[in-house]
Structure 1
């Protein structure tokens, strides 16, 4: 992929290395790329940062840690980027974070959700934008605890993200509801779900409620098979990410109804910040945004704010500047916490519905990420050496 966003000579620009799983999960990463391209244009049209344009040098990691490490190493050693950003899958993000720590390169992880990224495996140079598994699990557990269901089953992809999401949700819900019983779990391989046996095994356990963590094409297969076999009939379902348009749109009229989800109801957010973003995005791309669009856009805005505050691209200066920096986003201002390097970006929680033949989130409320994080002093103890 070619470099983007530099209207003057590349030698004068601030080069940012960007890696993501473009070929592995285009439903999320293509809108993400459109988001960062829009923000890059806005930053550079306003004069860049420190009087210099930002330039993104982008690579595809194919959803594989080895490919990501090769790409990042090339960006750092050959392209001489000042910092690195991006990644989607949690295991890929952890691999890049480890490389960044060893090479002392600033890394803004845009999308990986595992809590380990900023807690048990956190490091000095890695910061994370998206609300983590803990944050989204806490938002969902808050609603799940209100359900009468006592017998729960879980379905999640068998890799770092899925394992972390299930563990955190189970812990938080069990704390709120000690009467909960966990009766079944299924761990299909990411991107390769065999939905029939999964649905059959969950149904055989007779749960009253189900936690789903699958997404993308796996979610579509699970919804279709589960609907056909009546798995979701008269059962509550709580689901990570399902309200995101990149995953809900493909289901169309087949979208499940009444699931409690995190997501992004772009069509129902009535704030000045979001309206401005929506208008700019639609004018540029003639398409509606997905959550990936928000993540890509805010990634660039965060980088610009951090560099401006640092007044330098030196790694140590970037790290210090990122601690406590505030960034304006389409969801309102966020802050990157000094103690654990997690941003306070939140998520919308609502229910799925079919409206005019389309999958939609309804009754969605924005939950501020800061309200679902441990106090900074407690979070610091979760990090290595804490």
Structure 2
């Protein structure tokens, strides 16, 4: 039903992001068609490991599988990437923000554009001293504005954080699948639970959560995409950033359903379409997360699915990476405990597959 036909490395933290300056890493891509161009919203990590949202775009008329992404930059400063909003003030609930998801929907008949995201009050993404919450930005008169408080999405008993919001608008509801953490900070064992809830306005009145995928399945992200009269589901687990062993199997999985299933069992058995164990370069051997699927816009490949994602490089001490760079006469890597790459997986989808 699913056949991998391509895999492209787009933005590699190990190689840097020249000519951009002041960006240490990028993760969590969300690719959408916006204002007539393919647009990628990305979590960008700057000096001090502070995170914000950056924007890259393809040239007008360029197909989705083009590699020619160009970042929005500060006017008059072509090497300074433009942050989508001013960095939230120190102590704000979303001082550190990432895990982005663009959605277009309606509230009381009014068109609304939002970017849902995770946030926490800590200074850097590396801190684990505060719980994650979910909130959103809203586009008004062409500018993105931050909603001042997190949304009151319900959790589970003992819940200490919610993140990875994957939101769709359909049938008059804002549907959200999101990750539930049961300890402050990130779960490190890879055994995650995804919840499902919905709301009429995407802000309040969220329904009691349903367990979409439990800890035995261990999935971290789940994204639904319409496919004619059925739906496709893209699944990933959390990247194995620190090379832990044992750790749940990594990869990208696809599944199908005739309905917008709210439980994993409503879908066909997930089919592994990208296996990090087969990576011979090391850029995605640590696994991947934050998938963003879109159908090809080329007339000759209407059944081709492009899945954008962030991958983690194979776990390796920084000093060893630095030694390899010196031997190859390359610039030293950023001093970071892990290295991310934005990639694109191309998959042909059989319309008759079960």
Length-normalised TM-score, structure 2: 0.26
Larger Rg: 1 or 2? 1
Larger relative CO (CA 8 A, sep 6+): 1 or 2? 1
* Higher fraction of helix: 1
